[in-house]
Structure 1
């Protein structure tokens, strides 16, 4: 199969360069207003099944970002063995060292409303909701990378769900899906291996 497509597309270039970056710092080159603008555009324009627009995002910056990873660390401290906690604490501190975190939610009230309105598709709506959330995560991740920021995706839900909802006074129908700490890249992404595309794509003409 042919190698990577040579293209001038800014979109495909951003897709190619987006990577998981664990080494992140606070000193970013763009303003918080710009970061919020990117996330607002992503939430507005990312597609969803039946145009449900069930995605919700919370942007934590500064001390609010630090608070998230502090409370996550303390929750994990209660369940991780003491002699194994040092690596967990190091990981939490790494996320905390970033500039901010995006929390991704799906509004279950919207999902349940669609299930009631379209009972023939009832079993599909939770999966479609997660598909939409995944698209939003990827759009925001790529948009941040395109601005020179590094990010990674974490899933400490449902361990932290109740504490997050309580701390930031969020509606009970918002279900936490993922957490994305981001910041200035301080270390490159690791090597990435790609399986042969011949095993992953079939083309019929």
Structure 2
């Protein structure tokens, strides 16, 4: 499957289940290999990933619900908890700071470049999951959940949480995606 075909199939899948069409080992391999392969400016390797599975998956979404003190719908959180796992995306801010110090002329760009690399990592893993027949969606409950996540996984303070990607077997496919007039967003200058 080509990259474009993967992106065409990639969708936000909210109907998740714990049963996967592939082994957990395949998921681990996908996340590990993709994290190694996705580029990062100046080869800074600022990206960090936690793959929450099993009891940690359930504990994560319970902790997220608790962090909001009941101000998010339990049904929504339980929908994410129903998945087989969650990919948590981080940036190691010490790595970024180290390069800012080493290359002061580019200092303001390193946080931007780290965010860009994180976005590339997210879409690459998301498309890779879909290639495996696994559904996923992306969530942004941070910064409200930052302390709870760091405590649950015993993570260093320098890891900045960027996004959460619950994934699992596909319980329900989303409706067909509406086509847009892409010329409103893409200008081709010849």
TM-score, structure 1 normalization:
0.89
Distance 1:204 1:166 in 2: 50
Unaligned runs of 5+ in 1: 1-8
Structure 1 vs Structure 2 CA RMSD: 1.3
SS of 2:49 mapped into structure 1: strand
Q: Distance in 1 between matches of 2:145 and 2:183?
A: 41
State the distance in 1 between where 2:178 and 2:115 align: 26
- Cα offset, 1:192, TM superposition: 2.9
Deviations 1:17-52 (A, max 9, x none): 100000000011211111000001110000111111
Q: Deviation per CA, 1:129-175, whole angstroms, max 9, x where unpaired?
A: 11100000000000001000000000111111111111211121111
Give the whole-Å Cα distance in 1 for the aligned partners of 2:110 and 2:90.
15
Provide the secondary structure at the position in 2 that maps to 1:28: coil
Gaps of 5+ in 2: none
Q: Quick one: distance in 1 between partners of 2:8 and 2:177? A: 12
Aligned residues: 190
- 1:42-97 CA-partner distances (Å, limit 9, x unpaired): 1000011111110000001011000000111111125x2xxxx5xx1000000000
Structure 1 runs of 4+ aligned residues shifted over 6 Å read none
Question: TM (normalized to structure 2)?
Answer: 0.95
Matched, 1:23 2:15: yes
Check if 1:171 corresponds to 2:122.
no
